[in-house]
Amino acid sequence: MRQADQRPTIAILGAGLIGVGWAALFQHHGADVRVWDPESEALVALPARLKAPLAQLAQVAPDAGPAGRLTVCDTLAEAVAGAALIQENAPESIAVKHALYGEVEPLMDTDAILASSTSALTWSDLSPGLNDPARLITAHPFNPPHLVPLVEIYGPDDARVARAEAIYRFAGRVPVRLKKDATGHIANRLASALWREAVFMVQDGIADVEAIDAALVNGPGLRWSVLGAHMAYHLGGGAGGMEGYLAHLGPSQERRWAALGAPTLGEDVQAALVAGVAREAAGRDIAQLEAIRDAALIAALKARKEAPNV
């Protein structure tokens, strides 16, 4: 059983898509959650918007124990006071986030963690202006944040990063640590590199959008859901593992890298991408596709077994 004193107090700043996901996640796992948003409409809508992710979490993590308390806060001070972790989900603007941090820092506990969900910005972009930059970490979830386990973390203060990791693990997340900050963290760098080649194949006429997506989902994507890219080459090297792979096939891999494409998102390619996903969607709108995706993610998560990288 979890003890009451193991329940962290979490401030969620910003009640958009990502903030709502975080709020549901932490509440489901028993944290004391306080949500603030500068737009009062977002706070009014919050209880209704929490219903779907909370219902999904009940399927994915039915053994999480009693849910925590969720407080909708009218003021930033009310949300931040006494919070161990302050998860910031403001728009992706350095100016907006800097202004917010200027308000948050005087209100937060000395050893609290200010964690930015930023996707596009880095710790180096965001830390200037803080009196104590060590208070800030980047902690990027992968959409949808209450279902996909990954949280990518960078911060210069090892003790704070370790405390943050413990809190994310409490909420069923898999924290992964960067050694230095990088645009796109880890996952979006991988996604961007893969999509570049996916777009190139459309541009070059190698395959249609729907063929590329079907190949990914039924091939490497499925395998990458249980096995990392490095580990896959370790197992692809026969008895020699990664060492054997690099010795025998390293040079051919370097040649293959050199032959990969560098597409540009010109009008023709954009039109092909839009038409391709429209064929895939087959009349299903975004909300319908998201619901199907979420049900499939929930089934995949419930089925998860020990795996080389799980």
User: Which of residues 69, 211, 248, 268 is near a copy of itself by CB under 8 A?
Assistant: 211
Q: Which of residues 125-154 bind a copy of itself (CB under 8 A)?
A: 142-143, 148-150, 152
Q: Decide if 27 contacts 62 (C-beta within 8 A).
A: no
Q: Which of residues 155-194 bind a copy of itself (CB under 8 A)?
A: 174, 176-180, 182-194
CB of 274 to a copy of itself, least distance (A): 5
Contacts 24+ apart (CB under 8 A), 162-169: 163/84, 163/111, 163/113, 164/85, 164/113, 164/115, 164/137, 164/139, 167/8, 167/10, 167/84, 167/85, 167/113, 168/139
Q: Which is nearer to a copy of itself, 22 or 32 (CB)?
A: 22
35 in helix, strand or coil?
strand
Query: Which residues, 6 or more positions from 225, have their beta carbon under 8 angstroms from its beta carbon?
Result: 300
Q: Are strands 136-141 and 150-154 parallel, antiparallel or unpaired?
A: antiparallel
Residues in contact with a copy of itself, counted by CB under 8 A, come to a total of 111
User: Which of residues 65, 66, 91, 236 is near a copy of itself by CB under 8 A?
Assistant: 236
Q: Return the closest-CA partner of residue 86 out of 94, 96, 74, 76.
A: 76
Beta strands in 185-260 (DSSP E): none
Preceding amide of 156 cis, omega within 30: no
Q: Which of residues 241-270 bind a copy of itself (CB under 8 A)?
A: 241-243, 246, 250-254, 256-257, 259-260, 262, 264-265, 270
DSSP structure class, residue 134: G
CB of 148 to a copy of itself, least distance (A): 6
Contact between 94 and a copy of itself by CB under 8 A: the answer reads no
CB of 283 to a copy of itself, least distance (A): 12
Q: Which of residues 103-122 bind a copy of itself (CB under 8 A)?
A: 120
User: Which of residues 4, 227, 248, 283 is near a copy of itself by CB under 8 A?
Assistant: 227
Q: Which of residues 20-59 bind a copy of itself (CB under 8 A)?
A: none
- Distance of alpha carbon 195 from alpha carbon 215, whole angstroms: 13
Contact between 205 and a copy of itself by CB under 8 A: the answer reads yes
User: Which of residues 6, 44, 195, 268 is near a copy of itself by CB under 8 A?
Assistant: 195
CB of 209 to a copy of itself, least distance (A): 5
Structure tokens at 203: 């541009």
- Distance of alpha carbon 113 from alpha carbon 204, whole angstroms: 47
Q: Decide if 9 contacts 84 (C-beta within 8 A).
A: yes
Task: Give the up-direction half-sphere exposure of residue 55: CA atoms within 13 A in the CB hemisphere.
Answer: 9
Q: Which is nearer to a copy of itself, 106 or 238 (CB)?
A: 238
Q: Which is nearer to a copy of itself, 75 or 218 (CB)?
A: 218
Q: Which of residues 278-307 bind a copy of itself (CB under 8 A)?
A: 280-281, 284, 286, 289-290, 292-293, 295-297, 299-307
Contact between 201 and a copy of itself by CB under 8 A: the answer reads yes
Contact between 223 and a copy of itself by CB under 8 A: the answer reads yes
Q: Which is nearer to a copy of itself, 75 or 309 (CB)?
A: 309
DSSP structure class, residue 238: G
User: Which of residues 74, 219, 248, 268 is near a copy of itself by CB under 8 A?
Assistant: 219
